[in-house]
Amino acid sequence: MANPPSPRELADELRRHLSWHESEGTTQAWRDAKAQAPVAVKAQVPAAAPAAQRTPVQAPVAKAAAAAAARPQAPESAEVPVRTLDEIRLELGDCKRCKLCQGRTQIVFGAGNPKASLVFVGEGPGADEDAQGIPFVGKAGQLLTKMIEAMKFRRDEVYICNVVKCRPPGNRNPEPEEIAACEPFLKAQLASLKPQVIVGLGKFAVQTLLREETAISRLRGQWREYQGIPLMPTFHPAYLLRTPEDKKLVWADLQLVMKRLGKL
């Protein structure tokens, strides 16, 4: 007959047991580990809860875990709740979330087909857009319309919007806090549209979408991804008005998009 374990062996065994529970993420079962199924205890303990906020195990743990499991769970990837464009516009309201509201004539939310396979995202409205409430209607907008038609789309088949919805005074660049205030609405628009391809127009739009500061001259022409949607960075049409010799580079980028959308 084997000798009964010594107090030291019992202590070692207990340490190993607790260490296993900790490695499984179980941190609250110490008071009454025998009474709780490990999986039920684990469901009760959010892994990210700071130690100071942890509370002792509450009975009945198994019942609470079962109720939690029965609740419908949002898919983990759904960072932005999907709403219609009208709902998003309604939420934006007469927005005063940043100081760009002070100089605008009107909000330029976006325009086009809510079921568009192709979405263009620019930086912000200029004077013409501010006056008309429609994105890309000035000279740069007219060039964008030509680009869209050259891609074998009609302008009303695609969707066009900007990172910021109000005109920066004197057409200055949007400031980081203005972008931060307005970006949730762009995100919501793109989540609602779910296009097959996004074309990012110019440095600000692309850097905002990609969250990186690489120069647009290096980013353009390379497929990237935004929330699982293929993104093609390219130059802004306003830049092309100043630098027409780079139109061929943009055309090469747009041809990649056409190929992806079955237009080539």
Binding to ligand SF4 (CB under 6 A) within 57-96 occurs at 92, 95-96
How far apart, in whole angstroms, are the C-alpha atoms of residue 94 and residue 106? 9
Binding flag, residue 181, ligand SF4 (CB under 6 A): yes
In this chain, which stretch among 4-12, 14-22, 38-46, 164-172 interacts with ligand SF4, using CB under 6 A? Answer: 164-172
State which residue, 201 or 240, has the beta carbon closest to ligand SF4: 201
Q: Does 187 engage in binding with ligand SF4 (CB under 6 A)?
A: no
Closer Cβ to ligand SF4, 171 or 217, answer by number: 171
CB-CB contact of 92 with 134 (8 Å): no
Residue 90 CB, nearest distance to ligand SF4 (Å)? Answer: 13
For residues 28-47, which are near ligand SF4 according to CB under 6 A? none
CA distances to 99, 153, 254 from 248, in Å: 37, 19, 10
User: For ligand SF4, which residue of 42, 165, 220, 236 counts as binding (CB under 6 A)?
Assistant: 165
162 - beta bridge partners?
122
231 binds ligand SF4 (CB under 6 A): no
Q: Does 108 bind ligand SF4 (CB under 6 A)?
A: no
Q: Which tokens sit at 205?
A: 């739009």
Nearer to ligand SF4 (CB atom), residue 53 or residue 102: 102
Decide if residue 186 touches ligand SF4 (CB under 6 A). no
CA distance 263 to 261: 6
Q: Can residue 100 be called a binding residue for ligand SF4 (CB under 6 A)? A: yes
Q: How far is the CB of 173 from ligand SF4 (least distance, A)?
A: 13
What is the nearest approach in angstroms of ligand SF4 to the Cβ of residue 194?
A: 22
CB-CB contact of 162 with 123 (8 Å)? yes
Strands 229-234 and 224-226: antiparallel
Decide: is 205 part of the binding site for ligand SF4 (CB under 6 A).
Answer: no
Does 161 interact with ligand SF4 (rule: CB under 6 A)? no
188 is an interface residue for ligand SF4 by CB under 6 A: no
Residue 161 Cβ vs ligand SF4, minimum distance, rounded to whole Å:
11
Cβ-based nearer residue to ligand SF4, 153 or 159: 159
Applying CB under 6 A, does 98 fall inside the site for ligand SF4?
A: yes
Q: Which residues bind ligand SF4 (CB under 6 A)?
A: 92, 95-98, 100-101, 107, 164-166, 178, 181-182
